[in-house]
Amino acid sequence: MMIASDDSGETVPGQCAPLRIGDRAPRFLARSTQGPIDLDDYRGSWLILFSHPADFTPVCTSEVVALARAAPQFAELGCRLLGLSVDSLYSHLAWIRLIRDTAGVTIDFPIIEDPTMEVARAYGMVGADARDSGTVRMTCFIDPDGVLQASNSYPLTVGRSIPEMLRVLTALQAVRDGAGLAPADWQPGAPLLGLPGETAEAALASEDPAGWFHASLGKQG
């Protein structure tokens, strides 16, 4: 396991503060259920990096099964999935074998091992003094340029919503060109909001008193 800089490839200290939207996702090299992983290999496509506290746990098992079943939907959106857990590679392999044999679901996306919690610390999933991964259930939405565009976290006791992950991904893609905004409860295919006016001329010229800052584009995302 290694956390590396984007440019030099040298090992760099993990940051323990959560990543902020707009930050470059820290590059790492790690072993996974599908061989060695270099985060740079995901450049050029959307990536959802999601962590779970431990293998062979109820909520985490339900999540990876649900994500595996929804994998074609993410693929249609040009997005790849990458799981992370502090458990060893051999634990991951035993877990996905058990899932296949009991649930009939094949986990086709890689799950990386992070036994030293280097990646979890670099992404701010756990604090510097954390002794275990009990709080690690974080989702990072990383754009094709390797920049974090959104993230969310859930406790050990609550699983993610896969439809919400798909909604957020679709919304991020819809507004990526900077020409519109996704409003509250936006769903794929619904109209986007226009960008607000930033001059007195724009505010006074609008026939609708609120139209200069809150108006539908009529453009579907």
Query: ∠23-28-33 over CA atoms, to 5°?
Result: 125
Is 60 a residue of the active site?
A: yes
- 16, 60, 79, 140: the catalytic one is 60
**Catalytic residue positions?**
60
